[in-house]
Structure 1
């Protein structure tokens, strides 16, 4: 029988149909096996772990057959309890398979220490961004007669003068004594005015 006649014979079509049927069965069995091995459809919803302690996280994830790993401690955030979860990956609501590890970032116990920058003889517009850049806050602003308008003459904290390089907790408020742009030639008088400004700052601090 020639090849051309074979391609149009019943034997060829029977063998072709048999091959297609075998391929379909093998494909079905393969995908059925893959689904079984990978637990397709057997997924767990990741819970919201924000503001939970590691102990609470462990209890919650154990019940869902999930594990966790703390990968970092972030700067203290006052809107989260200390040493609780701040971020998680995968995020809450994600679908994962059993045994998946949830990666966590935890809140620090307190603010870290930062060094006070040198703001003396810098303008107010320069001083405030410098404070904020390292995590400090602008406190009370007091003006005294001085040639340089809005120039920082002293830095204060809780009624006491602070100097460049002193370590304070991040988010601390730094009070600034600024010049008002008026000329003062008498250094003794200038010192007296600055001292008066310090007294005003002290008066704003509540008694403990």
Structure 2
């Protein structure tokens, strides 16, 4: 141990130690200077501002200044197709010549979306659903229907379309809505050959009123009556009537299904 300590205090050790440190520093300095020269540290040209330009104009600017470029596209509603939406690096950033500039362009072709299910929805509900799907609402027309503002049809370019049909995102559809006027009329039920109790039930269920009952022929069982005539009656030209209309019936005695059979002489013992 004493010999090592003696050697560390010699002039030769100091010279070797200082020489080693100097060599390391020299290597580091040379590497730093060489890297700076190789990469031309501090030199470069600013990236031009390209946002909002058309893709044709942006290409011309980049090619004129010696930049390479790559283009990606994305659909953005209400943005002019073919314009630059984003760029990387940002405008004003110093970069080397031949650097690749990445551009995001608004696509010229909108992606297709499926028509959402808005059948039987109200106009207000349909408006929200269509907006979330990227579909706009154009004209609205009304047609007779029991419900006010209920969606009856969806049309695109004059053609009726159904749930799931594809159309370009951002397209405008027209809606056919119910006007609520249909609530004033109901279908006339067909009561012929029904028993009286069933006819009464059908009249009430249709929103109509029971009118006069006329009895035809001999009535022996009031619980077994059959409808033989009604007014109003459903015809080829008349199928609806106003809510609350009185329906008059003519009924006759129904057949007695429990009447015993009469035996023939051959069947008698």
TM-score, normalising length: structure 1: 0.68
Instruction: Note the residue ranges of structure 2 that are not aligned, 5 or more in a row.
Output: 188-269
Instruction: Note the residue ranges of structure 1 that are not aligned, 5 or more in a row.
Output: 189-208
Decide which moves more: 143-152 or 28-37: 143-152
Measured at CA, do residues 53 and 140 of structure 1 come closer, stay the same or move farther in structure 2, by a change above 3 Å?
closer
Mapped to 1, the partners of 2:78 and 2:110 lie a distance apart of 9
1:10 matches 2:8: no
> What is the correspondence of 1:1-208 to structure 2 with a 5 Å cutoff?
2-70=3-71, 72-75=72-75, 77-80=77-80, 82-109=81-108, 111=110, 114=113, 116-140=115-139, 146-156=145-155, 160=158, 162-164=160-162, 168-179=167-178, 184=183, 186=185
Aligned 8 A contact 1:43 1:96 in 2: yes
Q: CA deviation at 1:180?
A: 6.3
Mapped to 1, the partners of 2:186 and 2:93 lie a distance apart of 67
Aligned 8 A contact 1:154 1:161 in 2: no
Measured at CA, do residues 20 and 176 of structure 1 come closer, stay the same or move farther in structure 2, by a change above 3 Å?
same
CA offset digits 1:162-204 (Å, max 9, x no partner): 322666553233343444667615379xxxxxxxxxxxxxxxx
- Figure out how many residues of one structure are paired with residues of the other and give that number: 185
Q: Which has the larger radius of gyration?
A: 2
Aligned 8 A contact 2:47 2:92 in 1: yes
Q: Helix, strand or coil: the match of 1:151?
A: strand
Task: Give the number of the structure with larger relative contact order, counting CA–CA contacts within 8 Å between residues 6 or more apart.
Answer: 1
Aligned 8 A contact 2:77 2:170 in 1: no
